[in-house]
Chains A and B, each alone.
Chain A
């Protein structure tokens, strides 16, 4: 989450802030203007207006809305707006007291009352109204009746002579408001606007109502979807911003109307078609439209519109006709569009649309690649923005669009070598215009691609892995990789080292988990043929190993952020391990010292670490390094949460441990399905390794009271197996391993073998390895060897001597192997015996203590501790700590004990190879 904001959002925030600089007229971010006002009007009049104008403007705006609502018989809206109007009127009380009640206000009151009465009478119409509207109607009627009582005389006067009184009022008002010459005109205009509206009503009706209908249609579903209070918020917002901005923006806005209308016109024709498909628009747009419409009326400028050629149809969306479309203009327009970004009511789809058309315009007018690149950047950014929250993933069409866009952007960048892009190019330093200098564009393609990659992961996470859809989505992986590759090429020539590191890491992330079958086959093939140097070199070009090596080494050398290096190392190890390069993988792991401090890394890295560790263990197993395999897998397996630690699924836990928020975060961390490590394979590898270690160990330490367990989990499985009242033939993988362990305990390697390697186990586990046959052979051999050891441990007391020939026959091992195994056991003092060379026999010494002797030893030990405890009691009584005990006896016992410890510590000392990756441990502590 934070990562995204750290990288993805800074471009956004900077852009918007710079946009603020460029458009000084928008304090508080007036969206109306930012979205629709063209810039050529910007440096026209800047008017200082009186409070009165501000208030009245506000009122007229509201009145306009009410009138619109009246036209479409939207009573609910009418009511709402009316309430706002009353509030606004109350606010402007002081002015009203001074100036008298404005005529247009009275006019509205009168008209509204008439209108309502008329509606009220119309029983038919009322019946047709929906419940909401009908309710609103009755409320509004009551309200207005009550309200109008205060203005009875005025309303009556107006009703008598609507036109005159209005004019009079107008005159009066105009006369009275001579506070500033500028505002006078304004006021007049205001008045006119209202008046003209009324007068021209019949003319404008067809057009306006047509438009309004569409607006109404658009407005309705919105109100149904969103909550009402939301709407209200918006309403008041508009009021506020209107009042704020009107300080300086009034003149502009009135002038802008010229433009607005055209925009509207264009949009109307353009969007009507689209609007059905698009999400319902926000209400404030509706209001604007209404307002614009009002403005249009003022100017009476319908005739100015000249729709015609398709190009014009596109163009007027953005710019007034005749405006010379040049770079600064487009940039300003772009900034306007961008300003609406992230605002509550902004229609994101429309924004993307706008940006697209802007790009087309820029393209058509040959404004150069610089501006095009800039717009593209913004298109992609708004595509990412389309989803409001992080959890949601992109829709397929959006995703496609995004990929295409990035592709195009890269095309441009590749074609034109003279474009510099960078995050650190300030907005004002951009050079977008075509000139001799190279283009300089602000923006970071790398961030965009990284974001794209993340989106891809998100899509994969949110697709059902067992569906065709997943496969389809996965096909895009190639595309994503392609883009990353292209960017990598680009960055290698242009980017800084950090950027190269970042894109390398992306590339690595898409490579490390894939098994390189081509290289694998090649190496197999090569082994059979002659290994000519040339062949090797030829093939190296495409080997993922070589690529990994190159990329990772670059990162090791150049990277300065720890995280990227850590990830790269882990991926490198993973890749080595996946391709059975055990020694490289292990050495890299040990050299990196990651085990020591991985618990300080962030969870995704820890997951990666766990994955790597598991892969390392599986690799060791394939190579026959059973002990290493066991050690590597121990931590993951012993926790019993392998699934969670590998980021392959969430464990069911109660809500105390994890609330919904945390769950969401954890869900976001999951590894996509195609990167999963098979958990059954993992467990099987672990259990088989544990079996191969534990069974001989158990046999060797049968009488040892303080015997340690090598693998708790394995013992657990054994116990579960023992607890079963009825033992049928094994079914699951675990049962197979348990049955095999039992056979091995008796030294019966054939049965053990048949349990470990059979049809079922092959299909479940062993066939998943790339070199199945080799692994199976290794396993058979290990089983034979360990069974031999177990046999010797268990039954050595029965023999006086045993011929190695017999043993080799029993376990189907060659005599030298048997010889070496027995020699090793003798050297390690596991087997008290000697080898008789001429007769090839093992002669037992029978020096191991019998069970009775063992028991006696244990008893002695226990008695020792008993005495020690007893002495403590005695000491306490005496008040002296360690009285006579310290002198002689204790020393004696301790010697005894240290002797014991020496014997037992053997395994433990070997054990410390791998440390634990405490992904979960840390999880609870950190508060995201």
Chain B
């Protein structure tokens, strides 16, 4: 277990976001082992299949490092108790934790994911509201499936300041996005994670590792890949379909727009011609009409969803790439072993 965690830490540290986070208040996240275990436990108990579990992260900021020391889950609430007040529950929970002298500062939230599909509007909105309220808050994404395959997958994300700007303005038109010069790559920034345990726990783990058998580590060497890949591809395909639709929509829009532009242009030309004629005849020019009223521009399709889809596709691709490269390595290893025998 310990080794796994270590390796997870290592990978996430390696895969630290490339995008410069100089202006970000948080450059590193330090998570207590307890929090990780609690999140895993939460999913194990409540999440099944594609169902998603969420919870609140608690901790505090130390310089440019965010330390997450504790967490608690959001209760899974059903349709019956519609009057359940989440905010109330959070407040109560935090107050109670405070009473037992646990860090009670709200520093973000966590969410499980299904084959890496988490880039959605809902996540964006809630992370925006978090980051809006608490500047240094993060969202931890826990991928139980990857974890089950042998490598802990826990990632921390924050919205980039650019995206924050856009979200603040709530202007998702193509022009606004263009002006902000934002692409799917610049929407989220990943913050490196370090899992930190107390020395006592480290000692315990060293102890445990000696006792653990080889059989416990088999998942990591599992060669079968098709199932996971199929699922990923399936999801990827769905997103591609969505993307296609969006593009078609955008296409129609831009065609309509250009058509109208043309009409408008023609109209204006005619008007100027007429005015010129009138002027030559000494008549007063025609009154200026509100052209924008005559040619109402078509409603531009919101582009944020497309961006999100692109982000999601990117995410899937990364996942698949990662997965296949690992698998390829494993396969070569297996081949080499076979050759030896």
A interface residue numbers (CB < 8 A to B): 850-852, 855-856, 858-859, 862-863, 865-866, 869-870, 872-873, 876-877
Contact = CB atoms under 8 A, between A and B. Distances in A.
Contact of A862 (B226, B240, B254): B240
Interface stretch (B33-41, B190-198, B231-239, B290-298): B231-239
A870 B310 CA distance: 13
Contacts of A877: 254
Q: Top 5 nearest A-B pairs by Cβ distance?
A: A869-B247, A855-B233, A852-B226, A862-B240, A866-B244
Contact of B251 (A851, A862, A869): A869
Interface of B: 226, 229-230, 233-234, 236-237, 240-241, 243-244, 247-248, 250-251, 254-255, 258
Given A852-B229, A855-B230, A855-B233, A866 B254 contact: no
Contacts of A851: 226, 230
Contacts of B251: 869, 872-873, 876
Given A851-B226, A852-B229, A856-B233, A876 B240 contact: no
Given A855-B233, A855-B234, A863 B240 contact: yes
Nearest to A863: B240
11 contacts: A850-B226, A851-B226, A851-B230, A855-B234, A859-B233, A862-B237, A862-B241, A866-B240, A869-B244, A869-B247, A876-B258
A77 B237 CA distance: 90
B240 A859 contact: yes
B248 to A, nearest CB: 6
A858 B237 contact: yes
Contact of A873 (B226, B236, B240, B250): B250
Given A852-B230, A859-B240, A872-B247, 7 more contacts: A852-B226, A855-B230, A855-B237, A862-B241, A869-B247, A872-B251, A876-B255
A862 B235 CA distance: 13
Contacts of B248: 869
B250 A859 contact: no
B237 A873 contact: no
A856 B229 CA distance: 10
B105 to A, nearest CB: 44
Contacts of B247: 866, 869-870, 872-873
Chain B interface, >50% SS class: helix
B230 to A, nearest CB: 5
Nearest to A874: B251
Contacts of A866: 240, 243-244, 247
A863 B236 CA distance: 10
A444 B276 CA distance: 85
A877 B178 CA distance: 14
Contacts of B229: 852
A681 B258 CA distance: 59
Contact of B236 (A859, A870, A872): A859
B244 A862 contact: yes
A903 B185 CA distance: 39
A715 to B, nearest CB: 22
A877 B229 CA distance: 37
Contacts of B254: 873, 876-877
A485 B297 CA distance: 78
B169 to A, nearest CB: 24
A43 B241 CA distance: 96
Contacts of B244: 862, 865-866, 869
B115 to A, nearest CB: 14
B337 to A, nearest CB: 24
A859 B237 contact: yes
A852 B250 contact: no
Contacts of A850: 226
Nearest to B227: A852
A541 B247 CA distance: 74
A870 B251 CA distance: 8
Contacts of A863: 240
A26 B250 CA distance: 83
Nearest to A851: B230
Contacts of B233: 852, 855-856, 859
Nearest to B240: A862
A870 B240 CA distance: 12
Nearest to B228: A852
B31 to A, nearest CB: 35
A858 B258 CA distance: 34
A834 to B, nearest CB: 26
Contacts of B255: 876
Contacts of B258: 876
Nearest to B231: A855
Nearest to B258: A876
Pick the most buried of B226, B230, B247, B250: most chain A CB atoms within 10 A of its CB.
B247
A25 to B, nearest CB: 79
A498 to B, nearest CB: 61
A134 to B, nearest CB: 76
Pick the most buried of A859, A866, A870: most chain B CB atoms within 10 A of its CB.
A866
Contacts of A852: 226, 229-230, 233
Contacts of A870: 247
A858 B247 CA distance: 19
B229 to A, nearest CB: 6
